[in-house]
Structure 1
Amino acid sequence: MDLRAALAAHRLVAIVRGTDPDAALHSIGVLAEEGITLVEISLSGADALGVLERAHRRFGDRVLLGAGTVLTAAEAQAAHRAGAAYAVTPGLGDGVDAARALGMPVLAGVLTPTEVIAAQAAGVEALKLFPAAQAGGSAYLKALRGPFPDALFVPVGGIDETTARACLAAGAVAVGVGGPLVGDAADGGSLPALRVRARAFRDVVREASA
């Protein structure tokens, strides 16, 4: 998988983390129907590896599935076996190294300039700026892009529609959105409400790409 190209094309990573595995799977289906097909399944959700495996079987290449919250080598290996096409980490560590060794592209969590340098040295494909909103949102992203103009930043953490619009305008290649997009759908909540939110975020991305 070419993660760099996927991020540039889709500009939105939906982060699914739920307490109900069946609801999480249904949520991925709704996202796909609404054209949001770059999806991260967080390993901190209930039976996340099972959800990943089932989603991989059901959707195949129609949905680009990644494993999120990959912390350890064992988690990277398990995610790879379950069908993850890429790994997303909250920081640098064994999960990054193991995913790279498996040939999985990595969206690695960073916050500081020192971490950006370390992530680039590790050969990751893109940088998950986390927690983005709490660190200063688009203003902090703009400041980081000064010394790292060619880095592919994906702000994650507290990204709502307004913050997403600002971060994309400030040069983010994409944004990662969990709660403000998925809401409680992956816990068994309303799928029609998820569909409405998906359309709203899809419109934000379209505006930013116009």
Structure 2
Amino acid sequence: VGGAMEPIQAIRESRALIILRGDFGDRLKDITQILVEEGFLAIEVAMNFPHALEQIAQITQALKGRATIGAGTVLSIEEARRALEAGACFIGSPHTDESLLAFCREGGIPAIPGAFTPSEIWRAWQGGAAMVKIFPAMPGGPEYLRNLRGPFPDIPFLPTGGVTVENAAAFLSAGAVAVGVGSALVGSYVMAPEGLSQLREACRRLYRSLRAL
């Protein structure tokens, strides 16, 4: 990826992958600017809403070389292809699909498939996943993750779905390498008048908690 940080490295160093889901209009640039300034260098745009491709293109352009941008909720190779054309440099999914993993592997694109059961986790890892997204992370929580860590000590887990500013650190303590945080951090509140300063404050709280371990 020209000049940009290697995606998996960026997620590991940030200890979080920030997921943007929804239409943030002209606040998109400010939101992503704040995320990067506060130390979150990996951003994923969820593909399951109308303007995802434009968002990926816009953010990739605005943050060139300063952050790594990927596509999430990718369900098919066709969707992955479109996301990559828009500038995404990693592909996240809620599920494990061997053909999608093979497509990413052949293209040298880091894939972060979703898995929940031990069999799914192993299949995802065997299929070439760069990290395995434990999805949904709640209600199983850190305790479920801790139990998975025993048989799979070396698989990098990225719990996503139900991770909040408050519980994120507990997932790291339980053995995650990073957490996926979506609307609990970048929610609809960011569109309110005070939204951006609230976002910055929430980012600082999250960043501190992930480093307090």
**Alignment match, 1:101:** 106
Q: Is the 8 A contact 2:7 2:42 kept in 1?
A: no
Is the helix fraction higher in 1 or 2? 1
Q: Does 1:28 align with 2:32?
A: yes
Deviations 1:130-180 (A, max 9, x none): 00012x111000111111000100110111123211111111000010011
The question of 1:177 aligning with 2:184 is answered no
Using the alignment, how far apart are the partners of 2:39 and 2:12 within structure 1? 15
Note if contact 1:119-1:127 (Cα within 8 Å) is conserved in structure 2.
yes
**2: distance between equivalents of 1:162 and 1:35?**
18
Q: Quick check: 1:156 aligned with 2:141?
A: no
Mark the CA change 1:3 to 1:56 in structure 2 (over 3 Å): closer, same or farther.
Answer: closer
TM-score, scaled to structure 1: 0.92
**Structure 1 residue ranges, 4+ long, deviating more than 4 angstroms after superposition:** none
Partners of 1:185 and 1:76 in 2: CA distance = 29
Segments of structure 2 that go 5 or more residues without pairing to the other structure are: none
Question: In 2, distance between residues paired with 1:88 and 1:128?
Answer: 8
Out of 106, 119, 124, the position equivalent to 1:119 is 124
* Cα offset, 1:22, TM superposition: 2.7
1:107–1:125 Cα contact (<8 Å) kept: yes
TM-superposed deviation, 1:87:
0.8
Higher relative contact order (CA 8 A, sep 6+): 1
SS at match of 2:18: strand
Paired residues for 1:60-99 under 5 Å: 60-93=64-97, 94-99=99-104
TM-score (norm 2): 0.90
Cα drift, residue 8 of structure 1: 2.4
Which letter does structure 2 place at the counterpart of 1:192?
S
In structure 1, the gaps of 5 or more residues are: none
* Overall identity of the aligned pairs, in %: 36
Q: 1:92 touches 1:119 (CA, 8 Å); kept in 2? A: yes
Contact 1:17-1:24 at 8 Å conserved across structures: no
Q: How many residues align?
A: 206
**What SS does the aligned partner of 1:30 have?**
helix
- Residue 110 of structure 1 aligns with which residue? 115
CA RMSD of aligned residues (A): 1.6
1:114 is matched by which residue type in structure 2? S
Offset from partner CA, 1:78-125 (integer Å, 9 cap, x none): 111111111111011243333233221011101001101111111111
The Cα of 1:61 is off from its aligned counterpart by 1.4
